[in-house]
Structure 1
Amino acid sequence: EGQDFFKRWLLQVGEGWAPVLWGLPEGCIEIPQQCVVPPEADLCTDFIGDSLNEQGEEYLFRQDWGEQLVGKHRPVVVMCDTKLETLSVLEGIPDHYSPGQVVWTPDGNGVLGVAWLHEPRRLGLIYCTNRVGYIFHLTLGGVFTLLSGDDQAVRSPKFNPDGEYLVWLERPAGGGHHAAHRLMAYKWPPSPQVRIAWNYS
């Protein structure tokens, strides 16, 4: 019962990215998910002659997000087709961004979320609302667009109930953690581009 309604969903591994969300389009579920990094070699295998370090990467350091996101390296957005029982990564997000807090667009033809810059460092996301990030739009065809300005820390993108506005929280990047944010609104669809800000402290 209700199986035909729950066609697409969103899932983000780890606190600070996104919960499971069901969407509108037929036939699929959508997921921001953790990109799988091949496991490093087990040290014991080197001593029993079954070495796994032939590629020379068994001790390669891969920076993660730390805190409650230890082991999380770079999330990706994945679409699950519940009819075909397939998973596919949505392409188009540049490698220097880590996507999260992803939601469906009202028409179901794309997703929106936060793209955090993970250079020069990843460490600190859950408690760090001052990190540089952007509100992004990604179509299912792979067209990636940044909707918010530079040098801002953003979070919690949502659509209002009728899908007329995209809203999110924004503040200047840097400075103290958990400082006051502005409530931003963006007329949807994004052309013509209109941004409205409500300030609160």
Structure 2
Amino acid sequence: FGQPVWTRDGCGLLLVGWPHTSPNFPGVAKKLGVVFCYNRPAYIYHVPVSRSGDGGVLSFGPATPVSKPHHGSATWPAFSPDGCLLVYLSHDAAVETGTHGATAKLCSAQWPDACSASASPRVLIDVVDVPPPGLGAASFPGLYANTLPESPFFAGGAALVVPTQW
């Protein structure tokens, strides 16, 4: 597990987990790296956390998948300032094609509804298969982001900064 983020109420952690074997590369016996290898499946999990009194011992509950089965490679979870919106990157195109550095999706889900089995995340920026010709904003080639900033929201949560290569 990695990329931990506390829930706003402090009663849980979101973590990214990578399977030890990669279903999209069944012939590869070794574990694929997590740095610059976005074609490796990854899922966001919620782990409930409780504390026994002030300064007491932390107890962790079972990990519940948040991004499964919607996204095969979900990374970099981040919460809006009010804690009601979860955003994350999805590298599904890389998992499906095996391509390193494929275009990503920016997704969101209402929190804590994202933990529900019936939750359906929303795609804010989708994969661009073929960018339109020309220059400028109309020819956006897709989101090539490998991370979200630690605090990606600004303007009171009304805007989101996502670094991308373009």
TM-score normalised according to structure 2 size: 0.56
State the 1:121 CA deviation: 3.3
**Who is 2:33 aligned against?**
124
**Who is 2:123 aligned against?**
197
Within the alignment, does 1:170 sit opposite 2:51 as a pair? no
**Who is 1:149 aligned against?**
68
Decide whether the 8 Å contact of 1:166 with 1:187 is kept in 2. yes
Distance 1:121 1:142 in 2: 30
**Who is 2:24 aligned against?**
none
State the 1:137 CA deviation: 0.3
Among 95, 102, 110, which residue is 2:4 paired with?
102
Decide whether the 8 Å contact of 1:132 with 1:153 is kept in 2. yes
Report SS of the residue matched to 2:82: coil
User: What aligned pairs does 1:12-27 form with structure 2 within 5 A after superposition?
Assistant: none
Question: Number of matched residues?
Answer: 103
- Identity among equivalent positions (%) equals 37
**Who is 1:87 aligned against?**
none
Distance 2:74 2:101 in 1: 12
**Partner amino acid, structure 2, of 1:146:** P
More helix by share: 2
**Who is 2:104 aligned against?**
181
Distance 2:121 2:83 in 1: 15
State the 1:131 CA deviation: 0.7
Distance 2:87 2:9 in 1: 16
Deviates more, 1:117-126 or 1:136-145: 117-126
State the 1:118 CA deviation: 1.4
Decide whether the 8 Å contact of 1:114 with 1:133 is kept in 2. yes
More strand by share: 1
Q: CA RMSD in A?
A: 1.8
Query: Mind listing any 5+ residue stretches in structure 2 that lack a counterpart?
Result: 22-28, 50-59, 128-141, 143-166
Decide whether the 8 Å contact of 1:187 with 1:194 is kept in 2. no
TM-score normalised according to structure 1 size: 0.47
State the 1:181 CA deviation: 0.8
Decide whether the 8 Å contact of 2:85 with 2:109 is kept in 1. yes
State the 1:149 CA deviation: 2.6
Q: Identify which of structures 1 and 2 has the higher relative contact order when contacts are C-alpha pairs closer than 8 Å and 6+ apart.
A: 2
Report SS of the residue matched to 1:135: strand
Query: Mind listing any 5+ residue stretches in structure 1 that lack a counterpart?
Result: 1-98
Distance 1:186 1:118 in 2: 26
Q: Which has the larger radius of gyration?
A: 1
Report SS of the residue matched to 1:117: coil
Distance 2:4 2:87 in 1: 13
Deviations 1:151-198 (A, max 9, x none): 611211100111111110002214211111111101001257241112
Distance 2:80 2:90 in 1: 17
